[in-house]
Amino acid sequence: MENTAENKKIVLSAIQPTGTPTLGNYLGALKNWKKMSAENDCIYAVADLHSLTVRPEPQQLRRRTLDMYAILLALGLDPEKNIVFVQSHVPQHSQLAWILNCCTQFGEASRMTQFKDKSEKHPENVNVGLFTYPVLMAADILLYQADYVPIGEDQKQHLEITRDIAERFNTVYGETFKLPEPYIGKAGARVMSLQDPRQKMSKSDPNPKGFISMLDDDSVILKKIKSAVTDSEAKVRYAEGKDGINNLMAIYSCCTGKSYEETEKEFDGKGYGDFKAAVAEAVIEELRPFKEEFARLTADKAYLLECMTAGAEKAAHRAQRTLNKAMKKSGLFML
């Protein structure tokens, strides 16, 4: 199986261009991607093909794809040291997906909870792409012989079916794919909605006050945090039943590195107004370098396109080796 010269583990991460990630996405995962890239052989993809299942407006999808690519670079991911590419620029993903479709049972695909959930939410558009989405995701991972994949709780089932498909292919045709494992990195903060702290922060929240976008203006961040739900106790402490304050303390801790105990001492005798202002300032300072770098990158479209092209070439070179193996072993005639 494939290994780098440095014998680093291969880690595959993909993110859909469905809008700007939230503060929750950043503190929960993206913040650690730069460190992850220093310790592993990392491959990052903007998963634009997956976005087609919900039929986005074409011009908007193109803009969001470019923005998401810039976001990855603005996080500090060096395109010289990592492979950073756009999924649709590497046709081997779609080619392997068809081969893997033929190694996936209808029953196991129909049991995927994401398909059930999205079918219920969008009954007017239950397309085949939505059904085979996990197989394309399996192709994304298996093409690069990934050792690890960073996943959230809602993605566990997708990694399980990826392993099942790979194992079935290996059993039928011979050893071809690595069986990927979940990447367990440094635990990030689990950031909840500012308006309903029992729910995870999400950019699809119908209430825009519930989430902070990584590209929100400083004034918007301040306003959203000032309007965050708290409680009537007016005491900054981490405790059961204080979901709103617990959430703000988690955000403050992740941005400043201060423990909950240190935060409680810092705001002893002070009200929620002072605390919220401090949380807002910490978030603004945390996101400032990222936002400045994003602005610099998006002002240089030629550089972004140059990086995209180079990333696609590097990704395709790796992907083709695996695709050739899979095609040959499954009996496809090779020229």
Tokens of 117: 């959930």
By the 10 Å C-beta count (0-12 exposed, 13-18 middle, 19+ buried), 293 is classed as middle
Active site residue 203: yes
The dihedrals phi and psi of 44, each to the nearest 5 degrees, come to -120, 130
Residue 160 CA to residue 181 CA, distance in Å, equals: 9
Q: Is 35 a catalytic site residue?
A: no
Q: How far is CA 163 from CA 47, 112, 114, in A?
A: 20, 14, 17
CB 40 within 8 A of CB 10: yes
Tokens, residue 284? 């603004």
Q: Tell me whether residue 329 is one of the annotated catalytic residues.
A: no
φ and ψ at residue 102, rounded to 5 degrees: -80, -5
Task: Give the DSSP per-residue string, 162-215.
Answer: HHHHHHHHHHHH-S-----EE---S----PBPSS-TTSB--TT-SSGGG--BTT
Q: Which of 8, 9, 34, 203 is catalytic?
A: 203
At residue 327, φ and ψ (nearest 5 deg) are: -65, -45
**Options 31, 178, 200, 276, the catalytic residue:** 200
Which candidate, 214, 174, 173, places its Cα nearest to that of 191? Answer: 214
Distance in angstroms (rounded) separating the CA atoms of residues 128 and 249: 43
* Residue positions annotated with a catalytic role: 118, 200, 203
